[in-house]
Structure 1
Amino acid sequence: MKLTYRNTYISIVTILFVAMLFSCEGNLKGVRDMEMPEDAPQAVGMGINLKYIDSGKVVATLKSDKMMDFSNKNFPYREFPEGLEVEFYDENREKNTVTANYGVIYDQTGLIDLQGDVVVITSDSTRLMADQLYWDQASNWVFTDRPNTIRFKNGARNEGQGFDSNQEFSNFRSRSNVGVQIIEEETK
């Protein structure tokens, strides 16, 4: 058989074509990863109105104009860049409300980070205002190192730089603060 440049060229093209054909894999996830920027959320929700129901009762509602789901990351989280409002209902169906200009929920740790004009109003009318507030869902603990003001139901007021408290504010530990405390004397 006589080898010509044409036969050699066709052989080389055929080998390259077959090599390319066998080197391609049907990896849809790989293709999607190439399309999505590394810092992009997995999903974006607009006009969110979620209701958490336990035993047929609404336990909490969450409203937000925008939610970005980053559960595709190594440390998954959900971000609320345009603010959020959460209403919690206790066993007596009394409402507690939390609003903030920005929020992040970290899925693995259960920590919630609220920032910008954070306001918490409890069912007994205790009102907390802070620049930033953290809530540890696992231990039901609320804390901050930022400036905050708390007005209790009895009229007492506390302005401070940081505090730790259980979520009912019955075990409240304030750091440097100034305030008005109302102490009722027991009559005997």
Structure 2
Amino acid sequence: MGRQIKRIAGIAMVSTVAMFFLGCADNYQRVGEEKPARVYPQGVAEHFTLTYTETKEELQSQGSSDSRIVAILKSDRSEDYENLEFPYRTFPNGLLVEHFDEQGQKSTIRADYAIIYTRTNIVDLQGNVVLETHDGKRLETTQLYWDRSNEWIFTQQRFTFSNPEEGTVLNGQGMDFNRDFSYFIAHKTGGEMLLKEEES
């Protein structure tokens, strides 16, 4: 008799909780100002290429000045939201960035998806992000931020960084570094280092 009462009480409790959750469903249909506005790009470009250049000296009203290519951005598709209060541009089909140093040496960054925030000059790279420097260093992660104004790159995600010059592979989570990896801070790390034995 006691078991049967407990069983009935348990069924009653489950039924009450189920009715509570079903009764709390949001069936309200939003209209007018409270309905979130859909955002559409003001422009879409297919087979997008954008070249950034800089001049070595200030341009004069007459004549020309030497300039160099700093970066080239390439994507199958670019969507322009520059007309919004916080302007940005997306690359839903991926992005390739080719970056050139002052000696003309090329480093590349590839990502499955990217957003460039125009006002802050920050590039948010997502998906299979792979950065390769001209001297063979390689960083792989799922998200990477590139601060173009300060030439600073950082991630809070898990990463693998390999350096063939030193024979090292570093794994970790969270990393900040400058564009050529001459200075970097890794947060949580572990890795492998190959050591060459000296001949006796």
Give the structure-1-normalised TM-score: 0.73
Q: How many residues align?
A: 148
- State how far apart, in whole Å, the 1-side matches of 2:154 and 2:193 are: 20
For residues 4-153 of structure 1, the aligned pairs below 5 Å read 38-54=38-54, 55-153=66-164
* Selected match of 1:171 from 164, 174, 183: 183
How far off its partner does 1:133 sit?
A: 0.3
How far off its partner does 1:183 sit?
A: 8.1
Secondary structure of 1:175 counterpart: strand
Which runs of 5 or more structure 2 residues have no equivalent in the other structure? 1-36, 55-65
How far off its partner does 1:58 sit?
A: 2.7
* Selected match of 2:174 from 149, 154, 162: 162
How far off its partner does 1:51 sit?
A: 2.2
Percent identity (aligned): 41
Which runs of 5 or more structure 1 residues have no equivalent in the other structure? 1-36
Amino acid at match of 1:98: I
How far off its partner does 1:168 sit?
A: 1.7
Give the structure-2-normalised TM-score: 0.69
How far off its partner does 1:136 sit?
A: 1.1
Amino acid at match of 1:160: G
How far off its partner does 1:38 sit?
A: 4.3
How far off its partner does 1:153 sit?
A: 3.4
How far off its partner does 1:60 sit?
A: 1.8
- State how far apart, in whole Å, the 2-side matches of 1:142 and 1:53 are: 20
How far off its partner does 1:100 sit?
A: 0.3
Larger Rg: 1
